[in-house]
Chains A and B, each alone.
Chain A
Amino acid sequence: MLCALAAIPVLIAVAVRVSSAVPPGRGPAFLDRIAQNGLFVGVTAMVVSVPLFLPLTVGVVAGDTIAGEAGQGTLRYLLVGPAGRIRLLIVKYAGTAVFVVVAPLVVALTGAGIGAALFPVGPVTLLSGDTIDPGEAVVRLLLIAAYLAVSLLGLSAIGLFVSTLTDVPVGAMAATVVLSVVAQVLDALPQLEWLHPWLFSHYWLDFGDLLRQPVSWDSFVGNALLQGGYIAAFGALAYGRFITKDVLS
């Protein structure tokens, strides 16, 4: 799955390399900058993968946690040991969290790598029009990856809860992915403006704030608080469900 994610920046870089110059303002953000600076491949790849690809992989991993074991009939054996249900739940969530941290990193670093290989690398122009040197730009890239990791933690908590509801892993995966798509659709409807700050996907695309000079941390903090709330709420729900569940498989 990480390979599939890594393919996104590679595809973007190759496509830009073989095609003619991209006029500014067309396509995903920053696409026109790639030809001037390879580091932007990482940023563009993250812009592209945030709405669907990253939630998709996270949904697969998080949906598989409990339901996957139940579906294979191994959940029973895991619980026979002295580990206990709470510990199993925490370990499963920690596994998802590791994936959530690694996935955006893979996209960012593969992007920066393939970009550096195919395009010149130089000072990076930020959204504010200021330029920073490549070393600092890599730091910003890592910051964005961290931002996305935080962003996806809430979704993985939802996935964990959904996964405790069913014994069919595919159902849990699909439900998680559908939820992330629904949240983004709701976020796009201006009529539901009151709801927007409460949607877990609301801050997903605001990682551009890390590309300003000086960095605007407001969305990072808001995002972290929101995701923390989702982790606590759905973590508690998953706990309630899993602790009371009759494990038959």
Chain B
Amino acid sequence: MTRKWLRWLPAVAVPAVIAAGALAGSLPASAGDPLPPKTPEQVLQLIAQHREPALSGTLEQSSELGLPELPKTSAGSDSSSTAWLELLTGPHTARVYRDGPDNARIQVMDRLAERNAVRHGNEVWFYNSKDNTASHVQLPAGAADHHGDGRDATATPDQLAAVLLAKIEPGTDVTVGADVQVAGRAAYNLVLTPKSDATLVGSIAVAVDGQTGLPLGVEIKARGQSDPAFRVTYTSLTLGAPDAAVFTFSPPPGATVKEIPVTVPERKHGKDSGNATAPAAKDSTRKPAVTGSGWDSVAVFPAGTAGPASDATAPALLGQATVPVQGGRLLSTALVNVLVLDDGRVVAGSVPVERLQAAAAQK
């Protein structure tokens, strides 16, 4: 009898070894060389100093915003608005290539599909493999110089860091947490914690590469939520110029090509997703009224300015994503609440609903 059981030994041992190996692999690797300690200001300087290096890497993004998850493999039509909204729900993996300010490519990898944005000089291409469409934007000449150098010319990094810190310091605790490992690199962990209790944002952690000052990841936690509400981070990163062929793009034969005219200089959509907490700032045509300050500010948009309302598919989507509350409909996420009032005004802020309703009632 014992011999019979002895023969089962490998059958027990192999799965045990595999399980042990898998567990050991999934534990976070301990930081190798600890980075020299730095103050928050010095870390900010480090960020300001970094000169968009040439790199190729893989980004991973996940959100727990509480939005309804859209079906990933929807067979139906995928209008561009739902496609981009889809980026806010569920996890995504993207590959990023950059070489100087003029060459960039980002590939959002979906299952059996891919979305591409390629910038080569002043040419910008968007390509979606699902419906085989390409869009082309010709940036006005000189647009590239605007972003890259203008910033560095006006302020030195340490000045910039000081200014930035002075701006956020009053409402925010800025600390440097324990070093983290991101994409196999040791990184400083800059943690911004709002002092106000009224905001939905719990904390924002930015991982800053110890060597280059490149931000490697952003993690936004909502108040009272253990998992990050929004997280985007490199899972692998290689410094050095990627193959130049990556940045050349011509629409494939058979693709529908759309030319998008440029009226205002296209804003470069970087990875600074952190400003999702202040969506109000970009509207330049009709200024929203902002009440409150810092983290718990509330923006009230006059009727008719709400961007998504112009989209054909928006009303249906809005109906699905929002819940009726007193005075209008509420789009509630873990980080931002948006209240669409019955009179057409839109109130948004990173605050609980009651404060939105109070702000709406003031007028």
A71 and B359 alpha carbons, distance in the complex (Å): 77
Q: How far is the CB of A175 from chain B (nearest CB, A)?
A: 18
A165 and B257 alpha carbons, distance in the complex (Å): 58
Q: How far is the CB of B137 from chain A (nearest CB, A)?
A: 15
Determine whether the beta carbon of B95 is less than 8 Å from that of A216: yes
A128 and B10 alpha carbons, distance in the complex (Å): 45
B residues in contact with A229, CB < 8 Å = 18, 22
A residues in contact with B253, CB < 8 Å = 36, 122-123, 125, 131
Residues of A within 8 A of B (CB): 24-27, 29-30, 32-33, 36, 47, 122-123, 125, 127-131, 190, 205-206, 208-209, 212, 214, 216, 218, 229, 232-233, 235-237, 239-241, 243-244
Determine whether the beta carbon of B255 is less than 8 Å from that of A36: no
Known: A208-B111, A218-B58, A236-B15. A243 touches B7 (CB 8 A): yes
B residues in contact with A125, CB < 8 Å = 129, 132, 252-255
Whether, in the assembled complex, B77 has its beta carbon less than 8 Å from a beta carbon of chain A, the answer is yes
A residues in contact with B134, CB < 8 Å = 129
Q: Give per-residue flags for B40-84: 1 if the beta carbon is below 8 A from chain A beta carbons, else 0.
A: 000000000000000000100000000001000001111000000
Q: How far is the CB of B320 from chain A (nearest CB, A)?
A: 17
Contacts A127-B129, A214-B246 known; 17 new A-B pairs at CB < 8 A: A25-B131, A26-B75, A27-B75, A29-B112, A36-B253, A47-B112, A127-B112, A129-B116, A129-B129, A129-B251, A129-B252, A206-B111, A212-B114, A214-B243, A233-B15, A237-B15, A240-B10
Whether, in the assembled complex, B4 has its beta carbon less than 8 Å from a beta carbon of chain A, the answer is yes
A216 and B58 alpha carbons, distance in the complex (Å): 10
A residues in contact with B95, CB < 8 Å = 216
A27 and B12 alpha carbons, distance in the complex (Å): 44
Known: A128-B107, A129-B116. A24 touches B132 (CB 8 A): yes
B residues in contact with A243, CB < 8 Å = 7
Determine whether the beta carbon of A240 is less than 8 Å from that of B7: yes
A22 and B216 alpha carbons, distance in the complex (Å): 42
Whether, in the assembled complex, B127 has its beta carbon less than 8 Å from a beta carbon of chain A, the answer is yes
A residues in contact with B27, CB < 8 Å = none
Determine whether the beta carbon of B107 is less than 8 Å from that of A240: no
Task: Tell which of A209, A216, A239 touches B11, judged by Cβ atoms closer than 8 Å.
Answer: A239
A244 and B7 alpha carbons, distance in the complex (Å): 7
Determine whether the beta carbon of B10 is less than 8 Å from that of A216: no
Determine whether the beta carbon of B132 is less than 8 Å from that of A32: yes
B residues in contact with A216, CB < 8 Å = 95, 109
B residues in contact with A26, CB < 8 Å = 75
A residues in contact with B10, CB < 8 Å = 236, 239-240
A residues in contact with B109, CB < 8 Å = 209, 212, 216
Q: How far is the CB of B168 from chain A (nearest CB, A)?
A: 34
Whether, in the assembled complex, B14 has its beta carbon less than 8 Å from a beta carbon of chain A, the answer is yes
A29 and B112 alpha carbons, distance in the complex (Å): 7
Q: How far is the CB of A32 from chain B (nearest CB, A)?
A: 7
Contacting A at CB under 8 A, from B106-126, are 107, 109, 111-114, 116, 125
A122 and B254 alpha carbons, distance in the complex (Å): 11
Determine whether the beta carbon of A240 is less than 8 Å from that of B11: yes
Determine whether the beta carbon of B14 is less than 8 Å from that of A233: yes
Determine whether the beta carbon of B249 is less than 8 Å from that of A130: yes
A residues in contact with B249, CB < 8 Å = 129-130
Determine whether the beta carbon of B77 is less than 8 Å from that of A205: no
Q: Give per-residue flags for B1-23: 1 if the beta carbon is below 8 A from chain A beta carbons, else 0.
A: 00010011111111100100010
Interface centre among A27, A206, A237 (most CB of B within 10 A): A237
B residues in contact with A205, CB < 8 Å = 111-112
Determine whether the beta carbon of B252 is less than 8 Å from that of A130: yes
Whether, in the assembled complex, B130 has its beta carbon less than 8 Å from a beta carbon of chain A, the answer is yes
A residues in contact with B9, CB < 8 Å = 240
A47 and B113 alpha carbons, distance in the complex (Å): 12
Q: How far is the CB of B113 from chain A (nearest CB, A)?
A: 6
B residues in contact with A130, CB < 8 Å = 249, 252
B residues in contact with A237, CB < 8 Å = 11, 15
Q: How far is the CB of A50 from chain B (nearest CB, A)?
A: 10
By beta carbon, the residue of chain B nearest A209 is B109
Interface centre among B69, B109, B246, B255 (most CB of A within 10 A): B109
